[in-house]
Amino acid sequence: MTLILGLESSCDDSAAALVTGDRQVLAQAVVGQNSAHQPYGGVVPEIAARAHVEVLPGLIRQVLDEAGVVVADLDAVAATAGPGLIGGVMVGLLAGKGLALAGGKPLIAVNHLEGHALSPRLTEEDLGFPYLLLLASGGHCQLLEVRGVGRYRRLATTIDDAAGEAFDKAAKLLGLPYPGGPAIETLAAEGSPTAVPLPRPLLGSGEPHFSFAGLKSAVQRAVASGAYRPADIAASFQQAVVDCLVDRTRRALEQGGAPTLVVAGGVAANGAIRGALQRVAEQEGRRFAAPPGWLCTDNAVMIAWAGAERLAMGLTDPLDVPARARWPLDAAAGAVRGAGVKA
Ligand code: KG4
Ligand code: ZN
C-alpha cells in the first residue's frame, strides 16, 4: 500500500501527517499559532512563516518516529503549494521538495482547497464523484461541483467576506479570541438565535453567490447599541450565517443533479451549520457527508490524502513547481463583481 507524507503550512497551522492509500492515518501532528497572532486579532503573515520554519521539521520527525517509518519507506511527499500566505506556503513546499529530493521520492504539489475538497473521501470510503461541495473556511466560501480529482466547477463564491472570516470579524467585535468560529459557537449556545434582528444578505436572490460583509456591519451596530447580550448577538449571528449558507446551498441543489451534499473547511466544524445542511440534504433527497471536526480545520492528513488520490492517478509534480498565493480550483471561473482579493 502506498505511504504518503503530507505537509501543511498555508496559514497559521503547521502540520505533518502520514496516510496510506487505503485510508489509514498512521500519524499526524498539528501545531497552531493562535497565541502568536492573538494580540493582532488576525494572522500576521510574517509571524506565521517564521513559526512554520521553527516548527515544521520537528513535526516531520515526530510523525515518522510515531509511525516507525523512515523517508525511504515513503511513496511520495505531498506538500501544500497554495493558495495561502505565500511565505508560509514556501516554507512547507520547500521542506517537501527537500525531502523528495534527498529521498528520491515523487513530489506532489497539493492545492490546499483540494485537500479540503477530497477530505470526506478519506473517512467515507464509498463517497463517489460527483458531489456538491460547500467549501467554507477562513479564506473561502464556495459551492463547487466536484467531478473528480482535479476536476472542479465553481457554482458560487462570496462577493466579499468568506464565512470563516465573518465569524472571525464578528468575534473580534464581541471581544472574543481568534479564531472566532469556535468562540462564537460556544457563546451562541447560551444565547437566543432570534434575539437580535440581523440581515441575511442575498437570501432568496436569483444569483448564486454569498455575501457576509453587510452582516458584519449589522453585528457592529448591534454591539455598539449596547442593547443586546453578547450571547444573543453570537447566537443571532450564527443563525444568520446558517440561513445564508442553507439558502444558497439549497438553491444549488435544486439546480444540480449531484447525489451528495458535502460540507468541508474550517467552518464545517460548526455543529449548527452541519445540522442545518444535513437537514437540507435530507429535504432535497440527497446523501450528506462531512468530515469529522478535526479534519475540517487545517491539517496535513487532508494534504497527504489528496496526495494519495493524485499519486493513484499518476499525478506528480516537478521539483520546480511554484508556490502560489492564489490558486483557484476552477481556473475557468472568472472573478465575481464585488469579490475581495483573498486567495
Ligand atoms: O479551513 P480552516 O482551518 O483554514 C483556512 O483554510 O481558512 O478554516 C479556518 C476558519 C476560521 O475562520 C475559523 O473561525 C473557522 O474556520 N472555524 C469555525 C469553527 N471552527 C473553525 N467557524 C465556525 N464554527 C466553528 N466551530
Ligand atoms: Zn483550510
**CA–CA gap between residue 92 and residue 233 (Å, rounded):** 38
DSSP secondary structure of 255-321: H---SEEEEESGGGG-HHHHHHHHHHHHHTT-EEE---HHHHSS-SHHHHHHHHHHHHTT--B-TTP
Q: What is the DSSP secondary structure assignment for residue 140, as one 8-state letter?
A: -
Q: Which atom of ligand 1 is nearest to the CA of 298?
A: 3
**What counts of helices (H) and strands (E) characterise the chain?**
12, 10
Looking at residues 274-284, what average pLDDT do you find? 98
* pLDDT tens by residue, 32-87: 998 888 888 778 999 999 999 999 999 999 999 999 999 999 999 999 999 999 99
At 262, the pLDDT band (50, 70, 90 cuts) reads very high
CA 75–ligand 1 middle distance (angstroms):
31
Ligand at minimal distance from the CA of 180 is 1
Which residue do the cell numbers 482535479 mark? 150
Annotated binding site for substrate: 135-139, 168, 181, 185, 270
* Ligand 1 mutation pick, 167, 239, 295, 301, max ligand atoms within 8 A of CB: 167
- Of 188, 172, 193, 272, give the one whose Cα is nearest residue 234: 188
**CA–CA gap between residue 230 and residue 215 (Å, rounded):** 16
CB 184 within 8 A of CB 237: yes
DSSP secondary structure of 71-132: GGG-SEEEEEEESS-HHHHHHHHHHHHHHHHHHT--EEEEEHHHHHHHTHHHH-TT-PSPEE
At 200, the pLDDT band (50, 70, 90 cuts) reads very high
Three cell numbers written together for 53: 520554519
Q: Which residues contact 300 (CB under 8 A, 6 or more apart)?
A: 6, 7, 8, 15, 16, 17, 28, 29, 30
CA 227–ligand 2 middle distance (angstroms):
35
**Ligand 1 pocket at CB < 6 A:** 11, 137-139, 164-165, 167-168, 179-182, 185, 265-267, 269-270, 297-298
* Ligand 1 mutation pick, 137, 161, 185, 296, max ligand atoms within 8 A of CB: 137
CA 80–ligand 1 middle distance (angstroms):
18
Domains of the chain, start order: 3-118+295-312 (3.30.420.40), 128-290 (3.30.420.40)
What is residue 41's predicted lDDT score, i.e. its pLDDT?
Answer: 72
**CA–CA gap between residue 241 and residue 237 (Å, rounded):** 6
Q: Which atom of ligand 1 is nearest to the CA of 265?
A: 1
Percent with pLDDT over 70 in the chain: 98
CB 146 within 8 A of CB 130: yes
Three-class SS state of 58: helix
CA 217–ligand 2 middle distance (angstroms):
25
Higher pLDDT, 25 or 41: 25
What is residue 178's predicted lDDT score, i.e. its pLDDT?
Answer: 85
**CA–CA gap between residue 120 and residue 115 (Å, rounded):** 10
Residue 288, judged by CB atoms within 10 A of its CB (0-12, 13-18, 19+), counts as middle
CA 65–ligand 1 middle distance (angstroms):
30
Which residue do the cell numbers 472542479 mark? 152
CB 115 within 8 A of CB 15: no
CB 208 within 8 A of CB 161: no
Q: Which residues contact 190 (CB under 8 A, 6 or more apart)?
A: 231, 235
Least confident of 13-27, 134-148, 253-267, 324-338: 324-338
| Protein residue closest via CA to atom 2 of ligand 1 | 266
Annotated binding site: 112, 116, 135-139, 168, 181, 185, 270, 298
Percent with pLDDT over 90 in the chain: 92
CA 138–ligand 1 middle distance (angstroms):
5
> How large is the greatest C-alpha to C-alpha distance in the chain, in angstroms?
63
In this predicted structure, the answer to whether residue 343 has a pLDDT above a threshold of 60 is: no
What is residue 340's predicted lDDT score, i.e. its pLDDT?
Answer: 47
At 338, the pLDDT band (50, 70, 90 cuts) reads low
